[in-house]
Amino acid sequence: MHGTLTELNAYPLKSGGGTALRSAALTPRGLPFDREFMLVGPGGRFLSQREFARMALLRPSYDGEVLTVHAPGAAPLVHKAVDDGEVLDVFIQRKECLGVDQGEEAAAWFRELLGDDCRLVRFTGHRATSRGGGEVMFADGYPLLVISAESLADLNTRLDAPLPMNRFRPSLVLEGLGPYGEDDVRLLRVGDAVIEMVKPCSRCLITTTDQETAERGREPLRTLATYRTRDRGIQFGYNAVPRALGTLTIGDEIEILEAR
């Protein structure tokens, strides 16, 4: 079976909006700069849309040197990333890793916006995935999230109002696998890169947050729970790890190298 790569999305700031890409060089940690930055509260615990739905309204971009973040009603943050700040112990899903504090000016901008004490940190060190032998920065667990366009199309036939793909925050969107075809693939070639699908993605409250308004509802979790509950989680999409690096470009052909 063959198909096409239709979307590429990186998320420079964990739980901020995505950056749509036309082309990107795949790295061992996924798409360039993906989740390189993160907000943490006192004690180093990561902050996300789970607690602060308005983080959905943040629109970050990063060129490898300067992080720019736009938000409604605020002057943009333009921050030159630093690698010589204090190294903090930070925690993602109760697992420890390291982040370089990005200074008081950036922290004050986010504190004013969120109304809560926080710091901006930049990833440093090494963080392994729990399965598959991959690497990751500040993503919850894996460097890539893959979703079939037909999976969303099928879900939308079950909803009163269709939802956009950005509710699920994928790295790669593929067309041609069929509904939930990502579940049946182990090894996939995308352009000249190869990725391994290693773990179904269990979905959380963030999927119920409108990424344009930050309003929160009950869908799609209520509907997904009726037919996509597996292993005590509501699953939609698949976590993946790069196996052969290469450049990904919208329109690239995809090829199943190994099915489950």
Instruction: Render pLDDT for 156-215 as a digit per residue (tens, 0 to 9).
Output: 999 999 999 999 999 999 999 999 999 999 999 999 999 999 999 999 999 999 999 999
User: What CA–CA distance (Å, rounded) separates 69 from 59?
Assistant: 5
Q: How confident is the model at residue 94 (pLDDT cuts 50, 70, 90)?
A: confident
CB atoms within 10 A of CB 255: 15
Taking the model in full, what pTM does it have? 0.96
User: What CA–CA distance (Å, rounded) separates 234 from 162?
Assistant: 18
Q: What is the pLDDT of residue 232?
A: 85
Gyration radius (Cα) of the chain, Å? 18
Q: What is the pLDDT of residue 128?
A: 96
- Average pLDDT of the chain, as a whole number: 97
Flag whether pLDDT at 227 surpasses 80: yes
User: What CA–CA distance (Å, rounded) separates 135 from 28?
Assistant: 6
Q: How confident is the model at residue 1 (pLDDT cuts 50, 70, 90)?
A: low
For the chain, which domains are there?
Answer: 3-31+131-259 (2.40.33.20), 37-124 (no CATH)
SS3 105: helix
Bridge partners (DSSP) of residue 2 are: 255
Contacts of 17 (CB under 8 A, 6+ apart): 11, 56, 57, 58, 59, 60, 166, 211
The residue behind tokens 């079976």 is: 1
pLDDT digits (tens, 9 = 90+) for 180-195: 999 999 999 999 999 9
